[in-house]
Amino acid sequence: MSVRQSLLAILDQGPCYGYQLRAEFDRRTGSTWPLNVGQIYNTLDRLERDGLVAKGDADERGHIYFEITEAGHREVQAWLGSPVERGQGTRDELAIKLAVAATLPGVAVAEVIQIQRGASLAQLQELNRAKYAGASPDGPEELAWALVVDSMIFQAEAEVRWLDHTEQRLALHPQHAMALELSTERPRRGRPSGTGAGAAPAVERAQRDDTRVTR
């Protein structure tokens, strides 16, 4: 999530000082992504360095206001008008954990999945309780909070479905057939090749195939 662009978009509504920016960010995200003041001011320093905001004078209480520049306004418009790019690979800790666990000799992967499913279901229940205990999303702050919580609920539901799918898929393979012993070959420098080269080449091949079909 881009804190930089989010803060810049808020400044596009008017000048703000650091604590005010944090409060405005919380209002618009339902306080689901806590930011500390140090992070706010570090981001403001970088925005000022890049010519996207300008530092104004301090008020009678010592608050220093930051104003967006024309370049900053253009960046906000570009951010709002472009999609969020998803990486072709994954750094999801759970996916990597299960992929590694499934190839480790002697690891009961089914137990690892059961433990995770219990935690994921507990999180899903907690999110649903928070959603239904909250006020109806009539106002803008309540609606913003509901949007973020709904996203978290969908992600938790998808995680549980993926765990079910993973469990069923691994059940088709004997545990000993999945185990990978340490390789005795010296790895070569550079990117790996072959079928295990990663998701990106597979995605690129699929995209090329789709292009051929549509032509």
Which pLDDT belongs to residue 192? Answer: 57
Round to whole Å and give the CA distance between 90 and 88. 7
pLDDT, tens digit only, all 215 positions of the chain: 488 999 999 999 999 999 999 999 988 887 777 888 899 999 999 999 999 999 988 889 999 999 999 999 999 999 998 887 777 767 788 998 998 888 888 888 999 999 999 999 999 999 998 888 765 667 888 888 888 889 999 999 999 999 999 999 988 887 766 777 777 787 777 665 554 544 555 445 444 544 444 44
Residue 72 CB-density burial (10 A; 0-12 exposed, 13-18 middle, 19+ buried): buried
The Cα 129–Cα 118 span in angstroms is 17
Quick one: fold of 3-80? Answer: Arc Repressor Mutant, subunit A (1.10.10)
Over 2-45, what HEC string results? Answer: CHHHHHHHHHCCCCECHHHHHHHHHHHHCCCCCCCHHHHHHHHH
Question: What's the pLDDT score for residue 157?
Answer: 96
CB 180 within 8 A of CB 103: yes
Fill in the DSSP letter of residue 105: T
Query: What is the pTM (predicted TM-score) of this model?
Result: 0.65
pLDDT of residue 11: 95
Q: Quick one: pLDDT at residue 136?
A: 65
